[in-house]
Structure 1
Amino acid sequence: MVVITYNNHNNNMSLVFRIIVLLGIAIPFLAILCHSFSPENPTDRRVLVLVDDLAIKSSHSLYFKSLENRGFQLDFKLAGDPKIALHRYGQYLYDALILFSPSIERFGGSINTAAIMDFVDAGHDLILVADESASDLIREVATECGVDFDEDPGAVVIDHINYAVSTTDGDRSLIAADDFIKSSIILGSNTIEAPVLFQGIGQMVNPSNDLVLKVLSASPSAYSANPKSKLSNPPAIYGSAISLVSVVQARNNARILISGSLKMFSNQFFRYGVQKAGSPTKHDKSGNEQFLTEISKWVFHERGHLKAVNVRHHRVGEVDEPSMYRINDDLEYSVEIFEWTGANWEPYVADDVQVQFYMMSPYVLKNLSTDLKGVHHTSFKVPDVYGVFQFKIEYQRLGYSSLSLSKQIPVRPFRHNEYERFITAAFPYYGASFSMMAGFLLFTIFYLYNK
């Protein structure tokens, strides 16, 4: 009896041990599942901030605090730290990258220009900030993004008309810029009343590049030059062609912000009062904080981010999606489009979304109507051409992430038993055939029985 009791006790202990082990495995696995199936949130949360000097963390704390207040987790590293990395074991460690290290000659760890561009190609966002001390490495990254900084060493943007009144007499490199892009999606719906203080290097945007936008431009009286040297030749870039702040939206919807001034992100410029030369109005606070906060919301997909769900198509009067259509069928097409507002998904309302019924070229191009609840729909007749077609939506609108939807469907001709027995258009041919038969019958009778 003692032996049996001892074995049962061991069996019970073994069973308890197995349950504990299974729970230890199951609980983390369930946690992973819950995280995997959590509601989609396009806002990037993990951000790597590379700086030349950790003092920037305090001198630019207002900007960083605005990001942290919106839920971003900022990881500050020295740009030359040999331990920094963007990915490990095939997985990216961060969702966005901020480069506040304009003078860095070489990044530490495994980060280089190619690694940064691969990071963007993977759909992650980037903020690149330079100044007059911009290194060749920073210039190379900017060039890869479609923007070229002024190559003249020590060159800054100078404006003798639209400068900011300051205590430093004769300083024309401190600019009061207010030539903003006209887009409420990028800069928000609230108008930026005060000019933005800018002091730094100018950049050129290739006008043929549709992916790059100037969000803050210099005035027509501005030019880029080294203030410490005599201007012997005409400046390389001047006027409104100078971009002070540019943005890029890649084809994979990754977003990039490129600024030629590190000081414009500083606490000093955030708190400065600003008065534009020649203007009687003096603002107690510059527009830097509002401008950079609003544009960072766009860069990090807190605004202007679209998603499409529930793409449906079926014959008129039916509900189920068919495996193929027949020529001349009447069909209905619909898609639900939503916009992320920073907190939740709201129905996207627009009247310029189009669908193509496409085979080599569009056979049907229709504007989608909206029910103001996110559903965009239309109906049309399948063309009298059979083959393999596609429902295609290629939607691109300034400030919004692009939508590219495609769904393939074959279209067949009529079967032999599906044609109409008598076609109205063929009545003349029917009449000709029957009249020919009647005439032949009359001719035969006349020939046989007439002497």
Structure 2
Amino acid sequence: MSKLILCVFLTFTIIPLLCNSFSSDTPSDRRVLVLLDDFALKSSHSLFFNSLVSRGFDLDFKLADDPKIALQRYGQYLYDALILLCPTTERFGGSIDAAAILDFVDSGHDLIVAADSNASDLIREIATESGVDFDEDPAAFVVDHSGYAVSASEGDHTLIASDDFIKSDVILGSKKIEAPVLFQGIGHSLNPSNSLVLKVLSASPSAYSADPKSKLATPPSLTGSTISLVSVIQARNNARILISGSLSLFSNRFFRSSVQKAGSPIKHGKSGNEQFLTEISKWVFHERGHLKAVNVQHHKIGEAEEPAMYRINDDLEYSVEIYEWSGTTWEPYVANDVQVQFYMMSPYVLKTLSTDGKGRYFTSFKVPDVYGVFQFKVDYHKLGYTTLSLSKQIPVRPFRHNEYERFIPAAYPYYGAAFSMMAGFFIFTAVHLYNK
């Protein structure tokens, strides 16, 4: 009997904890499913995987066509993130397909996709649904005759040394990437109707996408800086996606290789690939730029308790605490652009919150002379940071009949007019009655 009780306890307490996803407040100690075309990638790309393991991630390597792979079981997701290093896979094994991966992202989980010149329709479909369109030519590479990487055999200039990074410390870290990043693969463009996609690594103005082994019969469809080499997406549910057009970008060979960009006299002993991918993976896996808001409070000035409703023209104070995940602990988030709205159909009050530098944001204002059901709203959108959407509803009532002032100073002219009219009428009546 005791063994039965123990089994029930383990089933309903321990197992759900193991299956819990990292969309929780503390994005750490997370399980990542890595799908590969070939287990040889596990050793040829080991430096990238080791950097994730050293940061506390539990990697589960599977072949993409393994019939036993699954993202969820009994309605619980088994993994917190997914890495697809399987560009040639035409069909995933088990219960995974493109729709399952998109549902995985829609549930708030993160995704890394690495394509290549021989990317399958399945990988292209996942990228397209994320707002990224790869070059349709299956033989196309990104070619750059001005920004290629200098080597012993220059070849067809498809080995690119790119240093056109997005200017965002929260996405790529505060430490500047000195060396160019080696890239060899296919380019992609961003869907103009999708405002959530960002180019993290762009091609130079002299680059174009075409088959390097054949002459150009028509102008290339992708040219110049419109070509994105690596892009990121932060969905509205704060799930993050990284899409790369090169599988070699993650390889040990590119990590360790020296690099010299054509036209530059500087030769770097090591490419910027390792630093670039380490920093961008920190962002993708919410080790940086992940915000949370706690302890939302509002009350009348001079009071501590939150009221059930406010009266028009009350003076109130609003406060919230915002913290950023540093990779190990929650640190106070300091900014000067956090705003709160006092909202009913449209914002009646818009105030920028002050901060004490320790994570607390606060402001005070007067309730407008309009009664109804209002909301305190904080919609914070900043490049690279997770979105904060806070709302708290509160009714606002008018004055009761016995709460108005007895005599309103602004109405003194009207009081005077009424009494002067009464006095004039009395004098007129007296004169009219007693004057012959």
Question: Shorter-chain TM-score: what band?
Answer: over 0.9
From 313, 320, 334, the counterpart of 2:305: 320
Provide the residue aligned with 2:212 in structure 1.
Answer: 227
Describe the superposition over 1:215-270 as per-residue Cα deviations: whole angstroms up to 9, x where unpaired.
00000000000112221110000100000000000000000000000001001111
Equivalent residues, number: 433
Paired residues of 2:148 and 2:158 also in contact (CA < 8 A): yes
**Unpaired stretches in structure 2, ≥5 consecutive residues:** none
Provide the residue aligned with 2:40 in structure 1.
Answer: 55
Cα displacement (A) at 1:109:
1.2
Cα pair distance change 1:323/1:32, threshold 3 Å: farther
Cα displacement (A) at 1:210:
1.8
Structural RMSD (CA) = 2.0
Provide the residue aligned with 2:148 in structure 1.
Answer: 163
Cα pair distance change 1:113/1:358, threshold 3 Å: same
Paired residues of 1:186 and 1:399 also in contact (CA < 8 A): yes
1:202 aligns with 2:202: no
Aligned counterparts of 1:230 and 1:30: Cα–Cα separation in 2: 64
Cα pair distance change 1:285/1:34, threshold 3 Å: closer
Cα displacement (A) at 1:277:
1.2
Provide the residue aligned with 2:404 in structure 1.
Answer: 419
Describe the superposition over 1:41-79 as per-residue Cα deviations: whole angstroms up to 9, x where unpaired.
123611011111111111101100110111111111111
Describe the superposition over 1:73-100 as per-residue Cα deviations: whole angstroms up to 9, x where unpaired.
1111111111111111111110000000
Describe the superposition over 1:341-379 as per-residue Cα deviations: whole angstroms up to 9, x where unpaired.
001000000000000111111111110000000000001
Paired residues of 1:44 and 1:300 also in contact (CA < 8 A): no
TM-score, scaled to structure 2: 0.95
Aligned counterparts of 2:5 and 2:246: Cα–Cα separation in 1: 56
From 419, 426, 432, the counterpart of 1:441: 426
Cα displacement (A) at 1:33:
10
For residue 274 of structure 1, give the secondary structure of its aligned residue in structure 2: coil
From 300, 314, 332, the counterpart of 1:347: 332
Cα displacement (A) at 1:23:
7.0
Describe the superposition over 1:112-150 as per-residue Cα deviations: whole angstroms up to 9, x where unpaired.
111111000000000000000001111000000000000
Provide the residue aligned with 1:101 in structure 2.
Answer: 86
For residue 51 of structure 2, give the secondary structure of its aligned residue in structure 1: helix
1:289 aligns with 2:274: yes
Matches within 5 A, 1:105-120: 105-120=90-105
Provide the residue aligned with 2:357 in structure 1.
Answer: 372
Paired residues of 1:129 and 1:260 also in contact (CA < 8 A): yes
One-letter amino acid of the counterpart of residue 172, structure 1: H
Cα displacement (A) at 1:28:
7.9
Aligned counterparts of 1:86 and 1:321: Cα–Cα separation in 2: 43
Provide the residue aligned with 1:187 in structure 2.
Answer: 172
Cα pair distance change 1:23/1:263, threshold 3 Å: closer
Paired residues of 2:25 and 2:292 also in contact (CA < 8 A): no
Cα displacement (A) at 1:448:
4.6
Provide the residue aligned with 1:269 in structure 2.
Answer: 254
One-letter amino acid of the counterpart of residue 114, structure 2: V
Aligned counterparts of 2:200 and 2:28: Cα–Cα separation in 1: 21
Aligned counterparts of 1:41 and 1:427: Cα–Cα separation in 2: 62
Provide the residue aligned with 1:12 in structure 2.
Answer: none
For residue 334 of structure 1, give the secondary structure of its aligned residue in structure 2: strand
For residue 349 of structure 2, give the secondary structure of its aligned residue in structure 1: strand
Q: Comparing 372-381 with 27-36, which one deviates more in the overlay? A: 27-36
1:388 aligns with 2:373: yes
Provide the residue aligned with 1:211 in structure 2.
Answer: 196
Cα displacement (A) at 1:441:
2.8
From 402, 406, 409, the counterpart of 2:391: 406
For residue 100 of structure 2, give the secondary structure of its aligned residue in structure 1: helix
1:124 aligns with 2:106: no
For residue 283 of structure 1, give the secondary structure of its aligned residue in structure 2: coil
Cα pair distance change 1:382/1:115, threshold 3 Å: same
Q: Comparing 99-108 with 163-172, which one deviates more in the overlay? A: 163-172
For residue 421 of structure 2, give the secondary structure of its aligned residue in structure 1: helix
Paired residues of 2:29 and 2:58 also in contact (CA < 8 A): no
Cα pair distance change 1:80/1:290, threshold 3 Å: same
Aligned counterparts of 1:24 and 1:358: Cα–Cα separation in 2: 51
One-letter amino acid of the counterpart of residue 308, structure 2: S
Aligned counterparts of 2:188 and 2:418: Cα–Cα separation in 1: 80
For residue 280 of structure 2, give the secondary structure of its aligned residue in structure 1: helix
Paired residues of 1:125 and 1:300 also in contact (CA < 8 A): yes
Provide the residue aligned with 1:144 in structure 2.
Answer: 129
Q: Comparing 133-142 with 161-170, which one deviates more in the overlay? A: 161-170
Provide the residue aligned with 2:52 in structure 1.
Answer: 67
For residue 282 of structure 1, give the secondary structure of its aligned residue in structure 2: coil
% identical equivalent positions:
75
Cα displacement (A) at 1:208:
4.2
Paired residues of 2:87 and 2:118 also in contact (CA < 8 A): yes
Q: Greater CA radius of gyration, 1 or 2?
A: 1
Paired residues of 2:156 and 2:212 also in contact (CA < 8 A): no
For residue 275 of structure 2, give the secondary structure of its aligned residue in structure 1: helix
Paired residues of 1:174 and 1:199 also in contact (CA < 8 A): yes
Cα pair distance change 1:25/1:224, threshold 3 Å: closer
One-letter amino acid of the counterpart of residue 386, structure 1: Y
Provide the residue aligned with 1:363 in structure 2.
Answer: 348
Paired residues of 1:177 and 1:219 also in contact (CA < 8 A): yes
Describe the superposition over 1:368-405 as per-residue Cα deviations: whole angstroms up to 9, x where unpaired.
00000000000111111111111111101111111011
Cα pair distance change 1:177/1:51, threshold 3 Å: same
Describe the superposition over 1:283-340 as per-residue Cα deviations: whole angstroms up to 9, x where unpaired.
1111100000100000000000000001111111111111111111111000000000
Aligned counterparts of 1:69 and 1:33: Cα–Cα separation in 2: 25
